[in-house]
Amino acid sequence: MLAAAAVTLTACGSGDSKKDQPVADVSMESAKDRAATVLDKPFKKPDLVLKDTHGKKYDLREQTKGKPVLLYYGYTNCPDVCPLTMSNIAVAKKSLLQKKAVTKAELDKLQVVFVTTDPERDTGKELGKWLKAQDPEFVGLTGDFPTIQGSARTVGISIEPSKKLKNGKIESMHGTQVVAFSPKSDAGYVVYNGKDATAKDYEQDLPKILEGRNP
């Protein structure tokens, strides 16, 4: 039986605060040089109902049931981690198809869901335009902030309301984790740190994630 460790979730942007940050039980089999952390106690998929980029109701549990899912909380005006994370996943998908490591039918089962942490600015239209530049198959969700924040907490991710900085810019603090959900159990069993996980990491792990196996 592998021991469990606690990992502190970080936030995107400057001025990270460790106060009241959640922790997750993780398996020690995830070495320091690995991007993926396999959870000893998987997260339940958030009971989250928001609007997609077309303004239609989207029930996360219902519409991703039995499918492999990568869930990420971020915002379109994010200067660094958010676009990099989405780009890495998109590049990994394209590479897997080019190398014929998976079939298109297999990869089509993957649901990459981006939930905005800045719903006041990230309207469905803005979110859709931003995600389309990354991968038109990505799902974008927006809605009221308390609902979004509450759902993030259930998977160990801390997010804060957007705030205006002294320089006039608006910042949205959020955890940078990508949570992978198994198609077998619908549980979030693997966590990636968006700051560290590369396109190569996702390319290596996705064939296993698609089947619900440990990367």
Q: Is 12 known as a binding-site position?
A: no
- Closest to 85 measured CA to CA, from 130, 40, 21: 130
Long-range CB pairs of 143-149 (<8 Å, 24+ gap) are 143/49, 143/50, 143/51, 143/119, 144/119, 145/117, 145/119, 145/120, 147/48, 147/49, 147/50, 148/48, 148/50, 148/73, 148/115, 148/116, 148/117, 148/119, 149/117
Q: Is 174 known as a binding-site position?
A: yes
Structure tokens at 139: 């799902």
- Closest to 139 measured CA to CA, from 38, 54, 44, 19: 54
Residue set of the binding site: 78, 82, 174
Residue set of the binding site for Cu cation: 78, 82, 174
